[in-house]
Amino acid sequence: MNTYSIARVAKVVMIAVAATVATAIHASDTLTVTFTGDVLLDRGVRRTIERHHGDAGCLFSPLVDSVFAASQLVVANLECPVTSIKSPALKNFVFRGEPEWLQVLREHGITHLNLANNHSIDQGRKGLIDTRDNIVKARMVPIGAGNCMEEASQPVLVATHPRNVYVVASLRLALENFAYLPDQPCVSQESFEKLEARVRQLREQEPECCIVVCLHWGAEHVLRPAVQQVVQAHRLIDAGADCLICHHTHTMQTVEQYKGAPIYYSIGNFIFDQKRDINSSACMVQLTITSTTVEAKTIPVVIKDCVPEMVDDEDS
């Protein structure tokens, strides 16, 4: 089978997986979608899995499992390639997870994995595409990566009931020691102007749809967004986004309401090995979507030994 045929088969399989997930959504008037921050499957997390005899199920706590079980969809940011390909990029932090661990994520309720971040290409372009294909094999849907920039940047339809729901993912950072080659396999990394236009076009084409924008952006280890981020977030809401749920800073940042739309500038880590207090406090975001409304609920978590555990609002 040639490379073109393999790519076509992978695309067909991806569409089939997405359809399977979509048809599994309960036939009701509401849709519950939970978003998490960064999921790392290397470094300290790898050591945690190894201490549990290779069982990646150790990364999930019962209360987090219960939130996932109550959600029709769970979207997480996968902060590493998950591939057997070893082709490390020349950069400070290079990650790689084991493909068999993806099945464990699916078993615990994760349905979609966002790849539009600065670590998805840590094992090269082949490692990125292999990661995307491994996600599909594990019966999840990849978001924000493709064989070219146009493909990687397409909005992903994650549900059709009670209305069409799209996730638009974008990396807003330059990749370290990696060329911007939009005709090659890559993550979603269009200019902000193209991203804004894409959101506006989607809103014009489908006025009744729900649009969730997920950006990987901002300065690490800070608690507030930069002024430029606030300006861009407002522009995306003005263009038609219903909410923004973002990450990268490894901290829980400001939550804002702009024209009635929630903006989570960074929801922090999720499954991660950083131990400082500012890196261990994070949240999940649970969206309840009806045919006309979107409501966001913040679910605080604290990360202990790489494992996210829920906390009471009064303790967060």
pLDDT of residue 270: 98
Q: How much is the average pLDDT of 35-39? A: 98
Look at residues 26, 11, 34 and name the one whose alpha carbon lies nearest to residue 132: 11
pLDDT digits (tens, 9 = 90+) for 85-105: 999 999 999 999 999 999 999
Task: State the pLDDT at residue 8.
Answer: 45
pLDDT at 1: 44
Q: How far apart are CA 261 and CA 7, in angstroms?
A: 38
Instruction: Quote helix, strand, coil % in the chain, to nearest 5.
Output: 30, 25, 40
pLDDT in tens, 117-171: 999 999 999 999 999 999 999 999 999 999 999 999 999 999 999 999 999 999 9
Asked if residues 65 and 57 have their Cβ atoms less than 8 Å apart, the reply is no
**Percent residues over pLDDT 70 in the chain:** 90
pLDDT at position 313 is: 54
Residue with tokens 């407002």: 234
| Count of Cβ atoms closer than 10 Å to residue 300 Cβ | 18
Q: What is the pTM of this model?
A: 0.91
| CA 15 vs CA 144, 158, 162, 189: distances in Å | 14, 11, 20, 22
Higher pLDDT, 26 or 287: 287
Each residue of 192-211: pLDDT tens digit? 999 999 999 999 999 999 99
Question: Is pLDDT of 295 > 80?
Answer: yes
Neighbours of 241 (CB within 10 A): 23
| pLDDT value of residue 71 | 98
| Bridge partners, residue 223, by sequence | none
Under a CB-based contact definition with an 8 Å cutoff, are residues 243 and 213 in contact?
A: yes
Of 224, 171, 217, 166, the C-alpha closest to 194 is 171
* Residue where the block lists tokens 């995306």: 236
The predicted pLDDT at position 19 comes to 47
pLDDT, position 263: 99
